[in-house]
Amino acid sequence: MNYNYRYRLYPTDDQREALAWTLDTCRQVYNHFLNRLNEADDIPSEYAQKNTLPDLKREWSDLKQIHSKVLQVVVERLYNNLRTLSGQKENGYNVGALRWKGAGWYKSFTYSQSGFTLIETDTRRDRLRLSKIGEVPIAYHREIPENATIKQVCIKRDSTGNWYATLGIETDEQPEKPAPETIDPKDTVGIDVGILKYAHDTDGTAVESLDLSDERERLRREQRTLSRKVKGSNNYEKQRTIVARCHDRIKRKRRDFLHKLGRYYVETYDVVAVEDLNVRGMMEQDRNSRNTAHSAWRTFIEILRYKAESAGTHLVEVNPRGTTKECSNCGVETDKPLWVREHSCPSCGYEDDRDANAAKNILQRAFSELGMGQAESAWFERRSLSSSRKSPIFERPPETATATDTRVVSASRVIERGSPALNERGRQTERSRAG
């Protein structure tokens, strides 16, 4: 299992200078090798190029100030870019299409396998020892798993001038996912991304969208100020940093929210079901209005995906076709315009919140995919087709099927408490119907 953990660095002024110098020198090395490729008749192999590094160091003595693995990764990156650009092309590489990196266009350098040590201290800041740079204070806010080894360290400067280290971590142990037939239906959840609510799940939790209006307003204000400054002046540069910080704050807040929400779902349930966005994306190509929500949702699913792996949770991405139209009680499809917030089935009379109904369909599809027929009938105690598989314990006449009450949770609550749960799951004391 591989993970990336990202930490903020707090370099001293000297270290800051050394980091910036290393970054820029790596950029020059990148350009140097790109130039060689451009001039070569036959593209030399990556291996051959790496082998020229010791010679290069003799001519270009500054390079001795950079850890050798870091330089090797620069060459690797060039060849990776080349391979990406060339794609499936049979007849070699299209070197001409690779871009020369101007100042500021090279944003990170990487220690691979060696040249770094994480030092835990008793003080507020732990330290990351980087070869040729020093012991850089690090905000080690999240511990890496005990059985993990750090494979690489990527050092990056963001647009605000802050430095970050991303630790590439590998663990050999991966928790096993429970066998589908042993999973209690109570430990499963389907989540639908709504339009009004951010996420609506089958346990009746509707998490609201993150309200970033204050942050966005602040950003607009700072951008207006920036537009009045003389480009290139000291004041302009100062203001540019402020604007970048505003962007950064929005990004961090959103990330924090999505991570906490994702962690809650994978740690609470054995099965988490969502819509397959690749299919859904194709269905909704023209619907620009939802693009922002869509991209946040995509990020959320990526977070769920890797968190589910490390938590031993099944993440099932189901076909989204018709999840909103279909009645989760009887399976009959009815067209619903976007503004209709309630599901009301003309066939069986079942009524529910639109997104809650969709979430139930999503979970049900996940059951089919995992072969959890038993759980399916326990959860949905209906559908004439599945009646033969019904578990007698859960059997109830279909007419008693009722909508789950919806508990609306604000995004800020998720951020503060780390989860949308009020107490432990199941104790829904502050229930309210979604409007």
CA distances (Å), 388 to each of 99, 184, 384, in order? Answer: 63, 19, 8
Whose Cβ is closer to Zn ion: residue 149's or residue 402's? 402
Whose Cβ is closer to Zn ion: residue 268's or residue 329's? 329
Distance CA 435, CA 196 (A): 10
Question: Closest distance between Zn ion and the C-beta of residue 185, in Å?
Answer: 20
Question: Closest distance between Zn ion and the C-beta of residue 83, in Å?
Answer: 52
Nearest alpha carbon to residue 411 among 295, 184, 259? 259
**Token match 């066939």: residue?**
347
Question: Closest distance between Zn ion and the C-beta of residue 390, in Å?
Answer: 17
Whose Cβ is closer to Zn ion: residue 119's or residue 332's? 332
Q: Which amino acid is at 197?
A: K
Question: Closest distance between Zn ion and the C-beta of residue 328, in Å?
Answer: 8
**Other Cβ atoms within 10 Å of 153 Cβ, number:** 24
Interface residue with Zn ion among 345, 359, 401, 408 (CB under 5 A) is 345
Contact between 358 and Zn ion per CB under 5 A: no
Whose Cβ is closer to Zn ion: residue 49's or residue 357's? 357
Residues 361, 323 contacting (CB under 8 angstroms)? yes
What residue ranges in 346-395 does DSSP mark as E strands? 351-353
Whose Cβ is closer to Zn ion: residue 345's or residue 434's? 345
Total residues at the site for Zn ion (CB under 5 A)?
Answer: 8
Question: Closest distance between Zn ion and the C-beta of residue 375, in Å?
Answer: 20
Contact between 327 and Zn ion per CB under 5 A: yes
- For the chain, the maximum distance between any two Cα atoms, rounded to a whole number of angstroms, is 84
Interface residue with Zn ion among 2, 347, 402, 432 (CB under 5 A) is 347
Contact between 329 and Zn ion per CB under 5 A: yes
Contact between 80 and Zn ion per CB under 5 A: no
Question: Closest distance between Zn ion and the C-beta of residue 215, in Å?
Answer: 42
Q: How far is CA 7 from the centre of its chain?
A: 16
Contact between 380 and Zn ion per CB under 5 A: no
Contact between 350 and Zn ion per CB under 5 A: yes
Contact between 330 and Zn ion per CB under 5 A: yes
Q: How far is CA 58 from the centre of its chain?
A: 43
What value, to the nearest 5°, has the Cα angle with vertex 297 and ends 296 and 299?
A: 65
Q: Output the six-digit token pair for 116.
A: 């770094």
Whose Cβ is closer to Zn ion: residue 71's or residue 358's? 358
Residues 26, 62 contacting (CB under 8 angstroms)? no
Residues 406, 434 contacting (CB under 8 angstroms)? yes
List contacts with Zn ion (CB under 5 A): 327, 329-330, 332, 345, 347-348, 350
